[in-house]
Amino acid sequence: MAPEGPRQGAIDYGLHMIVRDVTDKVLKEMDVMVKEGVSSFKLFMAYPGVFQVDDGSIFKAISRTAENGGLICMHAENGGVIDVLVKRALAAKHTEPKWHALTRPPEAEGEATNRAFRLARWPVASRSTSSTCPRRRRSSRCGSSATAGFPPMPRRARSTLPLHRQLREPGFDGAKYVMSPPLRERWHQDELWKGLARNDLQVVSTDHCPFCMNEGYQGLPKQKQLGIGDFSKIPNGAPGVETRMVLLYDGGVVQKRITLNRWSR
Protein backbone atom coordinates (compact mmCIF):
# COMPACT_ATOMS: atom_id res chain seq x y z
CA MET A 1 0.00 0.00 0.00
CA ALA A 2 1.08 3.63 -0.39
CA PRO A 3 3.09 4.97 2.59
CA GLU A 4 1.17 7.04 5.11
CA GLY A 5 2.22 10.39 6.50
CA PRO A 6 4.35 13.11 4.89
CA ARG A 7 6.69 12.03 2.14
CA GLN A 8 10.41 12.36 2.91
CA GLY A 9 11.71 11.66 -0.60
CA ALA A 10 13.73 14.30 -2.46
CA ILE A 11 12.55 13.09 -5.86
CA ASP A 12 9.33 11.91 -7.48
CA TYR A 13 8.97 8.15 -7.25
CA GLY A 14 6.47 5.37 -7.68
CA LEU A 15 6.07 1.85 -6.34
CA HIS A 16 6.18 -1.17 -8.66
CA MET A 17 4.90 -4.38 -7.11
CA ILE A 18 5.83 -8.01 -7.84
CA VAL A 19 2.87 -10.40 -7.85
CA ARG A 20 3.64 -14.06 -7.13
CA ASP A 21 0.28 -15.41 -6.00
CA VAL A 22 -2.79 -14.26 -7.95
CA THR A 23 -5.62 -15.05 -5.54
CA ASP A 24 -9.01 -13.34 -5.27
CA LYS A 25 -7.64 -11.44 -2.28
CA VAL A 26 -4.63 -10.23 -4.25
CA LEU A 27 -6.81 -9.15 -7.18
CA LYS A 28 -8.91 -7.00 -4.84
CA GLU A 29 -5.72 -5.55 -3.34
CA MET A 30 -4.57 -4.64 -6.86
CA ASP A 31 -7.75 -2.58 -7.30
CA VAL A 32 -7.04 -0.70 -4.07
CA MET A 33 -3.39 -0.13 -4.97
CA VAL A 34 -4.26 1.33 -8.38
CA LYS A 35 -6.64 3.80 -6.70
CA GLU A 36 -3.86 4.80 -4.31
CA GLY A 37 -1.29 5.32 -7.07
CA VAL A 38 0.51 1.98 -7.25
CA SER A 39 -0.50 0.98 -10.76
CA SER A 40 2.41 -1.14 -12.02
CA PHE A 41 2.63 -4.87 -11.35
CA LYS A 42 5.38 -7.27 -12.40
CA LEU A 43 4.76 -10.94 -13.15
CA PHE A 44 7.33 -13.58 -14.03
CA MET A 45 7.11 -16.42 -16.55
CA ALA A 46 10.54 -17.61 -15.33
CA TYR A 47 12.16 -18.70 -12.05
CA PRO A 48 10.08 -21.79 -11.14
CA GLY A 49 9.38 -22.11 -7.45
CA VAL A 50 10.40 -18.52 -6.75
CA PHE A 51 8.57 -15.98 -8.93
CA GLN A 52 7.02 -17.93 -11.82
CA VAL A 53 3.22 -17.82 -12.19
CA ASP A 54 1.12 -19.98 -14.50
CA ASP A 55 -0.84 -18.85 -17.54
CA GLY A 56 -4.13 -18.81 -15.62
CA SER A 57 -2.69 -16.42 -13.05
CA ILE A 58 -1.26 -14.22 -15.79
CA PHE A 59 -4.63 -14.10 -17.54
CA LYS A 60 -6.45 -13.19 -14.32
CA ALA A 61 -3.98 -10.39 -13.53
CA ILE A 62 -4.11 -8.99 -17.07
CA SER A 63 -7.91 -9.12 -17.05
CA ARG A 64 -7.99 -7.24 -13.74
CA THR A 65 -5.70 -4.46 -14.93
CA ALA A 66 -7.81 -4.13 -18.07
CA GLU A 67 -10.63 -3.21 -15.68
CA ASN A 68 -8.81 -1.11 -13.07
CA GLY A 69 -6.37 0.74 -15.36
CA GLY A 70 -3.18 -0.83 -14.04
CA LEU A 71 -0.19 -2.00 -16.05
CA ILE A 72 1.30 -5.49 -16.15
CA CYS A 73 5.06 -5.66 -16.74
CA MET A 74 5.96 -9.19 -17.78
CA HIS A 75 9.30 -10.96 -17.43
CA ALA A 76 8.86 -13.16 -20.47
CA GLU A 77 11.06 -16.26 -20.56
CA ASN A 78 9.95 -19.90 -20.62
CA GLY A 79 11.00 -20.83 -17.11
CA GLY A 80 10.26 -24.55 -17.46
CA VAL A 81 12.46 -25.03 -20.52
CA ILE A 82 15.24 -22.88 -19.06
CA ASP A 83 15.17 -24.95 -15.87
CA VAL A 84 15.72 -28.14 -17.90
CA LEU A 85 18.59 -26.57 -19.86
CA VAL A 86 20.26 -25.35 -16.66
CA LYS A 87 20.09 -28.81 -15.07
CA ARG A 88 21.54 -30.40 -18.22
CA ALA A 89 24.41 -27.92 -18.28
CA LEU A 90 25.28 -28.46 -14.64
CA ALA A 91 25.09 -32.24 -15.07
CA ALA A 92 27.66 -31.88 -17.88
CA LYS A 93 29.93 -29.87 -15.52
CA HIS A 94 29.37 -26.58 -17.36
CA THR A 95 29.58 -24.08 -14.52
CA GLU A 96 31.12 -20.90 -16.01
CA PRO A 97 29.13 -17.62 -16.13
CA LYS A 98 28.74 -17.84 -19.93
CA TRP A 99 26.37 -20.79 -19.45
CA HIS A 100 23.81 -18.43 -17.98
CA ALA A 101 23.31 -17.05 -21.49
CA LEU A 102 23.68 -20.39 -23.25
CA THR A 103 20.85 -21.87 -21.17
CA ARG A 104 18.54 -18.90 -21.83
CA PRO A 105 18.27 -18.92 -25.65
CA PRO A 106 16.31 -16.25 -27.57
CA GLU A 107 13.69 -18.89 -28.42
CA ALA A 108 12.77 -19.22 -24.74
CA GLU A 109 12.19 -15.48 -24.60
CA GLY A 110 10.37 -15.36 -27.94
CA GLU A 111 7.94 -18.15 -27.06
CA ALA A 112 7.06 -16.56 -23.71
CA THR A 113 6.69 -13.11 -25.25
CA ASN A 114 4.32 -14.44 -27.90
CA ARG A 115 2.32 -16.31 -25.26
CA ALA A 116 2.08 -13.21 -23.08
CA PHE A 117 0.80 -11.11 -25.97
CA ARG A 118 -1.81 -13.71 -26.85
CA LEU A 119 -2.99 -13.84 -23.23
CA ALA A 120 -3.14 -10.03 -23.20
CA ARG A 121 -5.34 -9.94 -26.30
CA TRP A 122 -8.20 -11.97 -24.84
CA PRO A 123 -9.50 -9.41 -22.31
CA VAL A 124 -9.38 -6.50 -24.77
CA ALA A 125 -10.11 -7.85 -28.23
CA SER A 126 -12.66 -10.08 -29.89
CA ARG A 127 -11.74 -9.58 -33.53
CA SER A 128 -9.40 -11.84 -35.49
CA THR A 129 -6.04 -10.85 -36.92
CA SER A 130 -3.53 -12.13 -39.43
CA SER A 131 -1.28 -14.88 -38.12
CA THR A 132 1.50 -13.58 -40.35
CA CYS A 133 1.58 -10.16 -38.69
CA PRO A 134 4.60 -9.64 -36.40
CA ARG A 135 3.57 -10.38 -32.82
CA ARG A 136 4.31 -6.93 -31.42
CA ARG A 137 2.48 -5.12 -34.22
CA ARG A 138 -0.41 -7.56 -34.05
CA SER A 139 -0.82 -6.90 -30.33
CA SER A 140 -0.85 -3.13 -30.78
CA ARG A 141 -3.48 -3.28 -33.51
CA CYS A 142 -5.75 -5.43 -31.38
CA GLY A 143 -6.02 -2.91 -28.58
CA SER A 144 -3.32 -3.93 -26.12
CA SER A 145 -0.15 -1.93 -25.68
CA ALA A 146 3.25 -3.55 -26.09
CA THR A 147 6.26 -2.77 -23.94
CA ALA A 148 9.71 -4.27 -23.89
CA GLY A 149 12.53 -4.12 -21.41
CA PHE A 150 16.08 -4.39 -22.64
CA PRO A 151 19.13 -3.49 -20.57
CA PRO A 152 20.75 -0.17 -21.60
CA MET A 153 24.32 -1.38 -21.28
CA PRO A 154 27.35 0.82 -22.01
CA ARG A 155 28.69 0.89 -25.54
CA ARG A 156 31.55 -1.46 -24.61
CA ALA A 157 29.03 -4.16 -23.63
CA ARG A 158 27.60 -4.39 -27.13
CA SER A 159 28.90 -7.08 -29.42
CA THR A 160 28.06 -8.95 -32.61
CA LEU A 161 29.66 -12.17 -31.37
CA PRO A 162 27.39 -15.23 -30.98
CA LEU A 163 28.19 -15.12 -27.26
CA HIS A 164 29.15 -11.74 -25.87
CA ARG A 165 32.85 -11.43 -25.14
CA GLN A 166 32.01 -9.91 -21.73
CA LEU A 167 30.55 -13.24 -20.63
CA ARG A 168 33.77 -14.93 -21.78
CA GLU A 169 35.99 -12.82 -19.53
CA PRO A 170 38.55 -15.01 -17.73
CA GLY A 171 37.75 -16.60 -14.42
CA PHE A 172 34.56 -15.38 -12.82
CA ASP A 173 34.58 -11.85 -14.28
CA GLY A 174 31.84 -12.73 -16.74
CA ALA A 175 29.42 -12.75 -13.80
CA LYS A 176 29.39 -8.94 -13.97
CA TYR A 177 27.28 -9.22 -17.12
CA VAL A 178 24.88 -11.94 -15.99
CA MET A 179 21.31 -10.65 -16.30
CA SER A 180 17.97 -12.03 -17.42
CA PRO A 181 17.17 -12.04 -20.25
CA PRO A 182 20.88 -12.11 -21.17
CA LEU A 183 22.68 -9.77 -23.54
CA ARG A 184 21.75 -10.62 -27.14
CA GLU A 185 23.32 -10.30 -30.58
CA ARG A 186 23.10 -6.92 -32.26
CA TRP A 187 20.32 -7.90 -34.69
CA HIS A 188 17.96 -8.26 -31.71
CA GLN A 189 18.75 -4.65 -30.80
CA ASP A 190 18.02 -3.54 -34.38
CA GLU A 191 14.56 -5.10 -34.26
CA LEU A 192 13.78 -3.39 -30.95
CA TRP A 193 14.82 -0.02 -32.37
CA LYS A 194 12.51 -0.58 -35.34
CA GLY A 195 9.68 -1.39 -32.96
CA LEU A 196 10.25 1.88 -31.09
CA ALA A 197 10.37 3.88 -34.29
CA ARG A 198 7.03 2.61 -35.62
CA ASN A 199 5.28 2.61 -32.22
CA ASP A 200 4.95 -1.15 -31.96
CA LEU A 201 6.79 -0.61 -28.66
CA GLN A 202 5.75 2.33 -26.50
CA VAL A 203 7.95 2.03 -23.40
CA VAL A 204 11.66 1.51 -22.75
CA SER A 205 12.27 0.19 -19.27
CA THR A 206 14.56 -2.08 -17.31
CA ASP A 207 15.15 -3.18 -13.76
CA HIS A 208 17.97 -1.39 -11.97
CA CYS A 209 19.28 -4.51 -10.26
CA PRO A 210 22.99 -4.14 -9.43
CA PHE A 211 24.91 -6.68 -7.37
CA CYS A 212 28.39 -6.41 -5.87
CA MET A 213 31.03 -8.76 -7.28
CA ASN A 214 32.48 -9.54 -3.85
CA GLU A 215 30.31 -8.71 -0.87
CA GLY A 216 27.07 -6.98 -0.13
CA TYR A 217 26.54 -3.55 1.37
CA GLN A 218 28.65 -2.92 4.49
CA GLY A 219 29.92 -6.48 4.72
CA LEU A 220 26.65 -8.29 4.13
CA PRO A 221 26.82 -11.77 2.54
CA LYS A 222 28.38 -12.33 -0.87
CA GLN A 223 26.38 -11.44 -3.96
CA LYS A 224 27.72 -12.31 -7.44
CA GLN A 225 30.27 -14.66 -5.89
CA LEU A 226 27.44 -16.91 -4.74
CA GLY A 227 27.68 -18.38 -8.23
CA ILE A 228 31.33 -19.42 -8.21
CA GLY A 229 31.28 -23.01 -9.40
CA ASP A 230 27.57 -22.86 -10.33
CA PHE A 231 26.40 -20.22 -12.82
CA SER A 232 22.75 -20.83 -11.87
CA LYS A 233 23.40 -19.24 -8.46
CA ILE A 234 24.79 -15.96 -9.81
CA PRO A 235 22.31 -13.18 -8.89
CA ASN A 236 20.83 -11.92 -12.17
CA GLY A 237 21.09 -8.18 -12.65
CA ALA A 238 23.09 -5.09 -13.54
CA PRO A 239 22.89 -1.32 -13.03
CA GLY A 240 20.85 0.55 -15.60
CA VAL A 241 18.67 3.42 -14.38
CA GLU A 242 21.41 6.06 -14.41
CA THR A 243 22.34 5.43 -18.07
CA ARG A 244 18.93 4.69 -19.60
CA MET A 245 18.02 8.16 -20.88
CA VAL A 246 21.44 9.10 -22.27
CA LEU A 247 21.91 5.73 -24.00
CA LEU A 248 18.42 5.95 -25.50
CA TYR A 249 19.35 9.39 -26.83
CA ASP A 250 22.76 8.27 -28.09
CA GLY A 251 21.55 5.05 -29.72
CA GLY A 252 18.26 6.50 -30.93
CA VAL A 253 18.49 10.20 -31.78
CA VAL A 254 22.22 10.52 -32.52
CA GLN A 255 22.19 7.32 -34.61
CA LYS A 256 19.01 8.57 -36.36
CA ARG A 257 16.93 5.54 -35.41
CA ILE A 258 14.26 7.68 -33.75
CA THR A 259 13.46 11.39 -33.76
CA LEU A 260 14.03 13.78 -30.90
CA ASN A 261 10.26 14.03 -30.41
CA ARG A 262 9.98 10.24 -30.26
CA TRP A 263 12.77 10.11 -27.67
CA SER A 264 11.01 12.73 -25.56
CA ARG A 265 7.69 10.89 -25.86
**For the segment 62-71, what is each residue's pLDDT rounded down to a tens digit?**
999 999 999 9
Name residue 215's beta-bridge partners.
222
Q: What is the pLDDT of residues 172-231, one digit of tens each?
A: 888 988 998 888 887 888 888 999 999 988 888 777 888 888 776 677 778 998 899 999
In a domain, 76, yes or no: no
Assign residue 150 the CATH number of its domain. Answer: 3.20.20.140
**Does 85 reside within a domain?**
no
The model's pTM? 0.76
- Residue 42 located in a structural domain: no
Write out pLDDT tens, residues 6-19: 567 788 888 889 99
> Considering the domain boundaries, does residue 130 fall inside one?
no
In tens, the pLDDT along 57-113 reads 999 999 999 999 999 989 999 999 999 999 999 999 999 999 999 999 999 999 999
Q: What is the largest distance, in Å, between two alpha-carbon atoms of the chain? A: 57
Report the mean per-residue pLDDT for the chain. Answer: 80
For 144-181, letters b (16+ CB in 10 Å) and e give: bebebbbbbbeeebebeeebbebbbbeebebbbbbbbb
pLDDT tens digits along 10-64: 888 888 899 999 999 999 999 999 999 999 999 999 999 999 999 999 999 999 9
Answer whether residue 109 is part of any domain. Answer: no
Domain that holds residue 233: 137-264
Cα–Cα distance for residue pair 152/246, rounded to 1 Å: 9
| Residue 59, in any domain of the structure | no
- Spatial neighbors of 104 by CB under 8 A, at least 6 apart, are 77, 82, 85, 180, 181, 182
Q: How far apart, in Å, are the Cα atoms of 1 and each of 16, 34, 36, 69, 150?
A: 11, 9, 8, 17, 28
Q: Does 95 reside within a domain? A: no
Beta bridge partners of 204: 148
Query: CB count, 10 Å around CB of 33?
Result: 20
Q: How many domains is the chain partitioned into structurally?
A: 1
| Inside any domain, residue 77 | no
